[in-house]
Amino acid sequence: MRLGAVLALLAAPLTAQSVQSRLEGRIPTDAVPVVDSLVQVALHEGLPSEPLVQKALEGGAKQVPGPRIVAAVRASLGQLRDARDLLVRAGDQPPVRAGEVTTVAWALRRKLPPSTVERVVAQLPHPPRGPAIHAIADLVAHDFDPDSAAGLIIDAVHDGLQRDRLLDVSTAALHEVQRGRTRDEAITVVRQQLPNVPAPPKPERGTVTRARRPDTPTPP
């Protein structure tokens, strides 16, 4: 942990330089130092900084005025703090993983009730929980009851499904609704299928052949 803190301190100036270079010319000039200072605060608090940079770049690309960009970045920083606090409250030992903080912040943005996220974090103590959170958020976005959705996904994890396969559980439930079942019925049907929910088809050869890489892909 000490080593990590030392490395973070050593890397901070480099990060600051690279953040400024990424922002310059992409957002209004007067917003650059403010956004940069917010990024430094995030780094100092052990929070992921990339979501803040992405939010600023998004605002700049969308021609949003500087003050609104700063407000959005500040709001994102608040969401990351809320996510970290929620993870710690649910039982994660600080420092929490950046990926988990980003995932939980994203779930809160998708209007998942904090109590539901907290329940998932508490019942799935081993990260990564991203796919589980995404699967629940998908169901809630389609008007499933948050507690029922969380219960289904937690059951799927206990039945041995992991990572991206959890997304297949939510997809299966949504398909059942499309076939005319109620949401409660869909959850019951899919729970009976566990862990044998259908997997998505692999991309066809033609799809892979057509695929191309962007010039400069940047993972979030």
Partner 1 sequence: MNTTDPRIHQVLDGELSIDALPAELRHALESVSAAADLLVAPVPGPSLESRIMAEVRRPASSYLRRVASWLATPHAITFRVRPVWSLAFAAAAAAFTLFFARDAGPQLGEHEGIAQFVGRFPDARSVHVVGTFNDWRPGTIALEDLDHDGVWTATVVLPTGTYEYMFVVDGERWVPDHLADRLVADDFGRENSVVIVRPVHR
Residues at the contact surface with partner 1, assessed by CB under 8 A: 22, 26, 54-55, 57-62, 64, 68, 71-72, 75-76, 103, 106, 109-110, 130, 134, 137-138, 141, 164, 167, 199-200, 202-203, 205, 207-220
Name the minimum Å distance from CB 4 to partner 1.
23
Name the minimum Å distance from CB 144 to partner 1.
14
Pick between residue 91 and residue 150 the one whose CB is nearest to partner 1.
Answer: 150
Q: Strand runs (DSSP E) across 37-132, as ranges?
A: none
Name the minimum Å distance from CB 215 to partner 1.
5
Q: Could you tell me if 60 and 47 are in contact, meaning their C-beta atoms sit under 8 angstroms apart?
A: no
Pick between residue 10 and residue 208 the one whose CB is nearest to partner 1.
Answer: 208
Pick between residue 192 and residue 215 the one whose CB is nearest to partner 1.
Answer: 215
Name the minimum Å distance from CB 165 to partner 1.
9
Pick between residue 59 and residue 151 the one whose CB is nearest to partner 1.
Answer: 59
Q: Could you tell me if 27 and 59 are in contact, meaning their C-beta atoms sit under 8 angstroms apart?
A: yes
Q: Strand runs (DSSP E) across 69-198, as ranges?
A: none
Q: Is 24 helix (H, G, I), strand (E, B) or coil?
A: strand
Pick between residue 2 and residue 62 the one whose CB is nearest to partner 1.
Answer: 62
What does the angle CA 67 – CA 73 – CA 75 come to, to the nearest 5 degrees? 100
Name the minimum Å distance from CB 153 to partner 1.
15
Long-range contacts of 177-182 (CB under 8 A, 24+ apart): 177/142
Taken in order 80, 85, 90, 91, the sign of the CA dihedral is positive
Q: Could you tell me if 199 and 168 are in contact, meaning their C-beta atoms sit under 8 angstroms apart?
A: yes
